[in-house]
Structure 1
Amino acid sequence: MLALLSFIFLLIIFIYIKSPRLSKNEPPLVPYTVPVIGHTFSYFLNTENFIKKCLKEYGEPFNIIIFGKVVTVVAQKYIPEMIKAHENFSSIEVFRELIPLHLILGHDPFVNIDFHAKTTREQISGKLTLHFDRIQKDVLYYLDKQIGECNKPKSVKEIWDFTNHVTAKSIANICMGEEASQHDDVVHAFAVLTDDMNKFFFLPPIFSFIHPKLHEYVISLPFLFGFNPIAKHQKVLINRMKPIVENRIQQKKILGDSYEPSNDLLEFYMSQSDFDSSSVDYNCLSDLIAFMIFAGIGTTGRSLANLLFDYVGNPQCWDELYEEASTINKECNGKLTLNDANKMIKLESFIRESFRHTGDMIIAPRAVTTDHFTFSNGFTVPKGRHVLDFSEDSLFSESVYGPDSKSFKPFQFVSKNVSASKIDKTYLVFGGGRHACPGRFYAVLVMKLFLYHVLLKYHVRTESGNIPKKSMMGPFSVPSKESLIFERRKE
């Protein structure tokens, strides 16, 4: 009896300590039944319906409790205010807490996020003309390797894994060069590294009910026993890059000013002022590339899988998309250039619509980094508060996309002449403002080249004949696991 009373007493103290303390003029806190747990289950089990219900009853913004922590939710009306006030918010602070990469990489890559963003913007997106032929070659290589001629129907399973490898082949070439990207172990490392990392970090933060730091401590325990989920992939990267780096250092010594640098990120990293050619830190180089993989492979591969399923699910578009692709292919005599790719306005519109139907409820959560932030309606949120953007409210805005905004409208952007990478207040799939994804131009190009070549060569359908739906993991969507059937297109 004494033990039971002691437990109840400690539980009461714990609940009291963990009870939310809201500051003055905060958004309303949605009522909840279970202390500490709050709205956790309602939020993760049916994010869309839960948030829509809260919006209807309390307006925006409003506060909820997830894993014992107060978070603020904004939707279409106040997302633009948050994006505009970029100096008051940071997505990096949220990702650093949810995905402590320093446990794996040995340092905090988010500290140098501006460097990574600039590298992506200038060395990848800014050089698409130089990268174009390599990207197209790599897309064709993996289509041929994985699908081939398809004189007989071929079933391809695990489409997301397939599209991750398509993306990996291209990014490996841009990051480490042509030589390294020829090796299957390098492409495989690029393709699965993010997934292996996510399996480790994306554990439900159940210990956050007690304290946020306790969750980080628990997931760091395996490292105390020498377990690192991506160590084997980093070993592959180092083994493959080492002879390349050594050869380039030697060539620079021999050729001097006549040395012609390679057009890849490895060369770019070697050109930095802190690079020491006499004592190369290969762990640092692999960490830089690993972060680029983490930032680009999973998201691009997922978008590519979604695009393929959206194409299969909209047979009314097949003829028009094929006709456009076939016309461009004839005009360029089968030698597509970046300028030719930009002429495919129907394909561009289809890709943009596929992004609009991404399925994610939350795109870019942010944390308040200043003392506080006050919305235009007077509600104030304190420093450190996580603010979730209910992006679906913007992506399916009826005032912009009509009363049937949730319908898939493949060619609605053709007349508007807007690219799939262009962001606006109702198209937030790449974030917004100054912190919008710098790699979006590359991602769109890969998707365009991929579907263009699929259109020219294959008929694609689902194995069941039905149109599969995305799965949901809390507020995030996951491409269907259904197989797709590829068959050679007949002239």
Structure 2
Amino acid sequence: MFALLSFIFLLIVFIYIKSPRLSENEPPLIPYTIPVIGHTFSYLFNTENFIKKCLKEYGEPFNIIIFGKVTTVVAQKYIPEVTKAHENFDSFEVLKEFVPLHFILDYNPFDIIDFHAKTTREQISGKLSLYFDKMQEDIFYSLDKWIGECNEPRSIKSIWNVCNHVTAKLIANICIGEEASQHEDVVHSFAVLSHDMNRFFFLPPFLSFIHQKLHEFVISLPFLIGFNPITKHKKVLINRMKPVVENRIQQKKILGDSYKQSDDILEFYMSQPNFDPSNVNYNYLADLLFFLIVVGIVTTGRSLANLLFDYAGRPEYWDELYEEASTFNEECNGKFTLNDINKMSKLDSFIRESLRHTGDMIIVPRAVTTDHYTFSNGYTVPKGRHVYDFSEDCLFSESQYGPDSKSFKPFQFVSQNVSASKVDRTYVIFGGGRHACPGRFYAVLVLKLFLYHVILKYHVRTENGNTPKKLMVGPFVFPSKESLIFERRKET
């Protein structure tokens, strides 16, 4: 009896401690039944309907309790406001809690986020014309390796895995140069790196019901006892990167001012003031590259897989896309350029629509980094509060996309003359404002080039002729696991 009473007492104390303490003039807290648990299960297993019901009854913003923590939700009306208030919010503060990369890297990548953003903006998106021919060559290589000639119909499984390897080949070339990226072990490591990490980091934070630090401690245990899922990948990268770095250092000594820099990220890192050619920190170089690789491949590979399914499952649009692609191909006479692909308005519109239909309910969660943030309607949220954007409310806005906003309308952006990489109030797939994804121009170019060459070379269809449903995991979606059927186009 004493033990039972002690347990009940401790439970009451725990619930009291974990009960939400809202600041003055906060957004309304949605009523809930179970203490501590709050709205967690509704959020995880019925995200769209749950949030829509809250919006209808309480408007925005509003507060919910997930994993024992008060979280503020904004939708179409306040997402643009939060996006513009970049000095008050930081999306990486949220990422650090759920994907603590500092456990597996020798340095904390979140400490130099501005450097990573600058690298992506200037050295990747800012040099697309320089990379264009290399990217095409890598796509030709990937098509031959992963899909082949397909003179007879061929079923390709694990489309997402294929797309990750395609993306990995492209990113490897840009990151470490052609010499190092030609090795298959490097490309494979890049492609599966995120998957190996996710087995540890995608553990639902149920221990956060007790305390967030407990969740962080548990997911860090493998690393604290010496097991790191990327150790083998780092060895591969350093093994292939080291000879390139040593050769470049030697060439700089010999050629001096006549040395010609390579167009890749590795060269950019070697030009930084903190790079010491007499004592190269290869672990640090690898960690810098791994952060870009993880961020780039996870998002681009997934988008590429979704795009292939969107194209393969909608045969009614094949002819128009093929006509545009073949017309440009004939006019260019084999000398296809960045300017040419940017003129392909139907291809670009199709990709923008595919990205709009990505399906994630939450795209850019943020944390308040200042003492507080006050919304334009007067509601205030405190420092540290997570603010989730119900992005679907923007991406399927009826005022912007019509009453059939959830329909797939691939050519609706042709007349609007907006590219797939252009962000606006209702197209928030890449975030928005000053902190919009700096790699979006590169990612969109990858999607364009790949689909362009697929259209020219193959007929692609789904197994049953329809667009398969994506896999929903909480508020996030992943590409279908179905196969696609590829068949080489017959010469006409």
Q: What is the TM-score with the length of structure 2 in the denominator?
A: 0.99
Query: Structure 2 CA distance, aligned partners of 1:177 and 1:9?
Result: 63
Partner of 1:285: 285
2:107–2:284 contact (8 Å) kept in structure 1: no
1:264 Cα deviation after fit: 0.4
Query: Structure 2 CA distance, aligned partners of 1:57 and 1:355?
Result: 29
Q: State how 1:19-418 maps to structure 2 within 5 Å.
A: 19-418=19-418
1:194 Cα deviation after fit: 1.2
Q: State how 1:379-458 maps to structure 2 within 5 Å.
A: 379-458=379-458
Query: Structure 2 CA distance, aligned partners of 1:196 and 1:69?
Result: 28
Query: Structure 2 CA distance, aligned partners of 1:188 and 1:453?
Result: 22
1:464 Cα deviation after fit: 3.1
Q: Which moved more, 1:191-200 or 1:13-22?
A: 191-200
Q: Could you give the per-residue CA deviations for residues 187-241 of structure 1, whole angstroms, max 9, x where no partner exists?
A: 0011111121122101011110010001010111111221101111111000000
Partner of 1:483: 483
Give the letter aligned to residue 154 of structure 1: R
2:314–2:466 contact (8 Å) kept in structure 1: no
Query: Structure 1 CA distance, aligned partners of 2:276 and 2:98?
Result: 33
Query: Structure 2 CA distance, aligned partners of 1:30 and 1:241?
Result: 53
Q: Could you give the per-residue CA deviations for residues 442-466 of structure 1, whole angstroms, max 9, x where no partner exists?
A: 0000100000000001001112333
SS in 2 for 1:105: coil
SS in 1 for 2:234: helix
Query: Structure 2 CA distance, aligned partners of 1:429 and 1:195?
Result: 22
Partner of 2:11: 11
1:2 Cα deviation after fit: 1.0
SS in 2 for 1:177: helix
1:107 Cα deviation after fit: 1.8
1:106 Cα deviation after fit: 2.2
Q: Could you give the per-residue CA deviations for residues 341-392 of structure 1, whole angstroms, max 9, x where no partner exists?
A: 1111000000000010010000100011111111111111111100000000
Q: Could you give the per-residue CA deviations for residues 458-482 of structure 1, whole angstroms, max 9, x where no partner exists?
A: 0011123332100111111100000
Give the letter aligned to residue 439 of structure 1: G
Query: Structure 1 CA distance, aligned partners of 2:355 and 2:125?
Result: 18
1:178 Cα deviation after fit: 0.2
SS in 2 for 1:87: coil
Give the letter aligned to residue 322 of structure 2: Y
Query: Structure 2 CA distance, aligned partners of 1:391 and 1:242?
Result: 43
Long gaps (5+) in structure 2: none
Q: Could you give the per-residue CA deviations for residues 230-269 of structure 1, whole angstroms, max 9, x where no partner exists?
A: 1111110000000110011011111111111111001100
2:106–2:284 contact (8 Å) kept in structure 1: no
SS in 2 for 1:377: coil
SS in 2 for 1:467: coil
Give the letter aligned to residue 142 of structure 1: S
Q: Could you give the per-residue CA deviations for residues 284-333 of structure 1, whole angstroms, max 9, x where no partner exists?
A: 00000000011100100000001101101221110000000000000001
Q: Could you give the per-residue CA deviations for residues 100-140 of structure 1, whole angstroms, max 9, x where no partner exists?
A: 11000022101100000000000000000000000111011
1:336 Cα deviation after fit: 1.1
Query: Structure 1 CA distance, aligned partners of 2:37 and 2:273?
Result: 50
Q: Could you give the per-residue CA deviations for residues 143-177 of structure 1, whole angstroms, max 9, x where no partner exists?
A: 11111111111111110110011110000000000
Query: Structure 2 CA distance, aligned partners of 1:157 and 1:149?
Result: 16
SS in 2 for 1:216: helix
SS in 2 for 1:86: coil
Give the letter aligned to residue 282 of structure 1: Y
Query: Structure 2 CA distance, aligned partners of 1:186 and 1:106?
Result: 20
Query: Structure 2 CA distance, aligned partners of 1:93 and 1:461?
Result: 41
SS in 2 for 1:477: strand
Query: Structure 2 CA distance, aligned partners of 1:21 and 1:128?
Result: 49
Q: Could you give the per-residue CA deviations for residues 74-116 of structure 1, whole angstroms, max 9, x where no partner exists?
A: 0000111101111111101111111111000022101100000
Query: Structure 1 CA distance, aligned partners of 2:69 and 2:417?
Result: 43
Q: Which moved more, 1:399-408 or 1:307-316?
A: 307-316
Report runs of 4+ in structure 1 exceeding 4 Å deviation.
none
1:272 Cα deviation after fit: 0.4
SS in 1 for 2:328: helix
RMSD: 0.7
Query: Structure 1 CA distance, aligned partners of 2:322 and 2:19?
Result: 59
1:334 Cα deviation after fit: 2.3
Long gaps (5+) in structure 1: none
Query: Structure 1 CA distance, aligned partners of 2:477 and 2:150?
Result: 30
Give the letter aligned to residue 455 of structure 1: I
Query: Structure 1 CA distance, aligned partners of 2:464 and 2:184?
Result: 32
2:362–2:476 contact (8 Å) kept in structure 1: yes
Query: Structure 2 CA distance, aligned partners of 1:460 and 1:119?
Result: 36
Q: Which moved more, 1:463-472 or 1:207-216?
A: 463-472
Give the letter aligned to residue 398 of structure 1: E
2:325–2:455 contact (8 Å) kept in structure 1: yes
Query: Structure 2 CA distance, aligned partners of 1:34 and 1:16?
Result: 13
Q: What is the TM-score with the length of structure 1 in the denominator?
A: 0.99
Give the letter aligned to residue 229 of structure 2: P
Query: Structure 1 CA distance, aligned partners of 2:254 and 2:118?
Result: 31
Query: Structure 2 CA distance, aligned partners of 1:412 and 1:224?
Result: 52
Query: Structure 2 CA distance, aligned partners of 1:23 and 1:279?
Result: 52
Give the letter aligned to residue 469 of structure 2: K
2:90–2:368 contact (8 Å) kept in structure 1: yes
